């Protein structure tokens, strides 16, 4: 069963715009991670936010975590064509065992 559910399933924006993806989960977590997957490639880790953190930044990425609502969001600012990929949230329940959602497909048009 999938713990995390991303929303929207697909997102299409123009280069330079911001992209926001949301993730909801069902049970308590140790941390939540976001990964990117380019077509035909493996996953690349973007950011890890622990359960006692509320917001984290990395370059053009901003992640928020609301444990009371069991939700997280990933914001990509000033998007580029190279950001076109699938984005997955993954919840770490225990022991670094990650449960991935189905992902959001982001398309950035140049």
Partner 1 sequence: EAGVAQSPRYKIIEKRQSVAFWCNPISGHATLYWYQQILGQGPKLLIQFQNNGVVDDSQLPKDRFSAERLKGVDSTLKIQPAKLEDSAVYLCASSLLEFYNEQFFGPGTRLTVL
The site for partner 1 (CB under 8 A) is made up of 2, 4, 30-31, 33, 35, 41-45, 48, 50, 88, 90, 92, 95-103
DSSP state of 38: -
Report, in Å, the least distance between residue 56 CB and partner 1.
13
Nearer to partner 1, 4 or 79 (CB): 4
Instruction: Report how far residue 82's alpha carbon sits from residue 32's, in angstroms, rounded to the nearest whole number.
Output: 24
Report, in Å, the least distance between residue 63 CB and partner 1.
13
Positive or negative: CA dihedral 32, 37, 41, 46: negative
Write the DSSP assignment of 55-87 as a string of letters. EEEETTEEEEEETTTTEEEEEE-S--GGG-EEE
Nearer to partner 1, 78 or 95 (CB): 95
Report, in Å, the least distance between residue 27 CB and partner 1.
16
């Amino acid at each position: 069963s999938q713990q995390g559910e991303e929303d929207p399933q697909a997102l299409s924006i123009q280069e330079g715009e911001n992209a926001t993806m949301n993730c909801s989960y069902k049970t308590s977590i140790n941390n939540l991670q976001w990964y990117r997957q380019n077509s035909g490639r493996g996953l690349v880790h973007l950011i890890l936010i622990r359960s006692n953190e509320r917001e984290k930044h990395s370059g053009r990425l901003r992640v928020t975590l609301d444990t009371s609502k069991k939700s997280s969001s990933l914001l990509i600012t000033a998007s580029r064509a190279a950001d076109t990929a699938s984005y997955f949230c993954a919840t770490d329940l225990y022991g670094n065992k990650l449960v991935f959602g189905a992902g959001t497909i982001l398309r950035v048009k140049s």
